[in-house]
Structure 1
Amino acid sequence: MNSQKFLKFSFLLKCAVIVLCQNVFFFNNIKPVNAQISGVSDTVCRELVSAGFENVFVSEVEGTIVIGYENRRFRFEPKGCSEVMKIIDQVVEQDRDIMLIIFRNKIPLLFIEYNTLSFSNFISNKISSNEFFEELQVASEKPEFEKYKAVRTNRSEFKADVALGPNVSLQFGDWDRNVQSNINLIPELNTMLTKGLTLTAQALVPLYNNFLIPEQAETQIRPGIIALNQMIRLEDNVFLNASLGYFTRSRAGFDIELRKYFGEGNFSLSLNTGYTVYKSFSPKLIEYFEDDNYFTGIVSAEYRYCPYDLTFGVKAGNFLYNNIAARFDLLRQFGELKIGFFATVTKSSDFNGGFNFSIPLPPGKYMRIKYLRVRQSKDFSLEYRAKGFSKSVGTYDTGSQLYNILMEYNADFFKKRLIKELF
Structure 2
Amino acid sequence: MRYKNSNIGKCLATKTIARCTAFFLFCLLPLKGLCQTGESTVNTLVDMGFENVGWTENDGERVYVLQNSAYRSQGVGISKAVDVIQEMGLPEKKACRIIVLDNNIPQISLYYHPIKGDTIAKAERKDWNVSYDLGETVKDVRKIKVKNSSLFKIDVLVYPQLAFKNLVITQIYQVLFDLSPAIEVSLWKGMKLTGQLKIPVYNDGYGSFEDKVHPGHLTISQRFRLPYNIFGKVTAGYFNANQYGIDAEFSRPFKDERFAAFLRLGYTGTGYWDSFKLHYDPTMTFTWAVGGSFFWPRYNTQFIVQAQKFLYEEKGIKAEMIRHFRYCSIGFYAMKAEGAKANGGFRFQVLLPPYKYKRHKYVPRINTSANMGIIYNAGNERYYYKEYKAETSDNIMEDNSFNPYFIKSELLNF
Whether the TM-score (by the shorter chain) exceeds 0.5 is: yes
**Matching of residue 357 in structure 1 with residue 348 in structure 2:** yes
Find the counterpart in structure 2 of residue 113 from structure 1.
Answer: 111
Secondary structure (helix, strand or coil) at the match of 2:386 reads: coil
Supply the AA of the counterpart residue of 1:180.
Q
Residue correspondences, number: 400
State how far apart, in whole Å, the 2-side matches of 1:15 and 1:352 are.
93
Find the counterpart in structure 2 of residue 206 from structure 1.
Answer: 200
C-alpha deviation, 1:329, in angstroms: 0.7
Secondary structure (helix, strand or coil) at the match of 1:316 reads: strand
State how far apart, in whole Å, the 1-side matches of 2:121 and 2:90 are.
12
Secondary structure (helix, strand or coil) at the match of 1:275 reads: strand
C-alpha deviation, 1:110, in angstroms: 1.1
**Matching of residue 77 in structure 1 with residue 70 in structure 2:** no
Find the counterpart in structure 2 of residue 128 from structure 1.
Answer: none
State how far apart, in whole Å, the 1-side matches of 2:200 and 2:281 are.
22
**Matching of residue 281 in structure 1 with residue 273 in structure 2:** yes
C-alpha deviation, 1:170, in angstroms: 1.4
**Matching of residue 336 in structure 1 with residue 334 in structure 2:** no
Contact 2:249–2:263 under 8 Å retained in 1? yes
Find the counterpart in structure 1 of residue 339 from structure 2.
Answer: 348
Residues 420 and 178 from structure 1, CA distance in 2 versus in 1: closer, same or farther, beyond 3 angstroms?
same
**Matching of residue 319 in structure 1 with residue 310 in structure 2:** yes
State how far apart, in whole Å, the 2-side matches of 1:214 and 1:326 are.
31
C-alpha deviation, 1:60, in angstroms: 1.3
**Matching of residue 30 in structure 1 with residue 22 in structure 2:** no
Contact 2:349–2:396 under 8 Å retained in 1? no
State how far apart, in whole Å, the 2-side matches of 1:28 and 1:44 are.
24
Find the counterpart in structure 1 of residue 378 from structure 2.
Answer: 386
C-alpha deviation, 1:201, in angstroms: 1.5
**Root-mean-square deviation over aligned CA pairs:** 2.9
Unaligned runs of 5+ in 2: none
State how far apart, in whole Å, the 2-side matches of 1:90 and 1:362 are.
28
Find the counterpart in structure 2 of residue 286 from structure 1.
Answer: none
Contact 1:323–1:391 under 8 Å retained in 2? no
Find the counterpart in structure 2 of residue 126 from structure 1.
Answer: none
C-alpha deviation, 1:200, in angstroms: 1.4
Find the counterpart in structure 2 of residue 176 from structure 1.
Answer: 170
| Max Rg structure | 1
C-alpha deviation, 1:353, in angstroms: 0.7
Find the counterpart in structure 1 of residue 227 from structure 2.
Answer: 235
Find the counterpart in structure 2 of residue 297 from structure 1.
Answer: 288
Higher helix share: 1
Residues 188 and 5 from structure 1, CA distance in 2 versus in 1: closer, same or farther, beyond 3 angstroms?
closer
Q: How do residues 121-136 of structure 1 correspond to structure 2 at under 5 angstroms?
A: 122=124, 133=126, 135-136=127-128
C-alpha deviation, 1:14, in angstroms: 9.8
Find the counterpart in structure 2 of residue 306 from structure 1.
Answer: 297
State how far apart, in whole Å, the 1-side matches of 2:383 and 2:284 are.
14
Find the counterpart in structure 2 of residue 266 from structure 1.
Answer: 258
**Matching of residue 103 in structure 1 with residue 97 in structure 2:** no
State how far apart, in whole Å, the 2-side matches of 1:242 and 1:6 are.
79
Find the counterpart in structure 2 of residue 419 from structure 1.
Answer: 412
State how far apart, in whole Å, the 2-side matches of 1:306 and 1:205 are.
40
Contact 2:250–2:262 under 8 Å retained in 1? yes
Contact 2:303–2:322 under 8 Å retained in 1? yes
Supply the AA of the counterpart residue of 1:61.
N
Deviates more, 1:393-402 or 1:75-84: 393-402
Supply the AA of the counterpart residue of 2:215.
P
State how far apart, in whole Å, the 1-side matches of 2:91 and 2:136 are.
25
Deviates more, 1:47-56 or 1:243-252: 47-56
C-alpha deviation, 1:160, in angstroms: 0.6
Residues 137 and 401 from structure 1, CA distance in 2 versus in 1: closer, same or farther, beyond 3 angstroms?
same
1:89-110 deviations in Å (ceiling 9; x for gaps) = 4433774632111100111111
Deviates more, 1:337-346 or 1:309-318: 309-318
Residues 142 and 92 from structure 1, CA distance in 2 versus in 1: closer, same or farther, beyond 3 angstroms?
closer
Q: Which runs of 4+ in 1 moved over 6 A?
A: 9-18, 116-119
Q: Normalising to structure 1: TM-score of the pair?
A: 0.86
State how far apart, in whole Å, the 1-side matches of 2:281 and 2:382 are.
9
Supply the AA of the counterpart residue of 2:201.
L
State how far apart, in whole Å, the 2-side matches of 1:252 and 1:170 are.
24
Contact 2:62–2:91 under 8 Å retained in 1? no
C-alpha deviation, 1:375, in angstroms: 0.6
Secondary structure (helix, strand or coil) at the match of 2:336 reads: strand
1:326-385 deviations in Å (ceiling 9; x for gaps) = 211111112232110011111114111100011111111012242210011111100000
Residues 328 and 18 from structure 1, CA distance in 2 versus in 1: closer, same or farther, beyond 3 angstroms?
same
Q: Normalising to structure 2: TM-score of the pair?
A: 0.88
Find the counterpart in structure 2 of residue 196 from structure 1.
Answer: 190
Supply the AA of the counterpart residue of 2:28.
K
Contact 1:198–1:228 under 8 Å retained in 2? yes
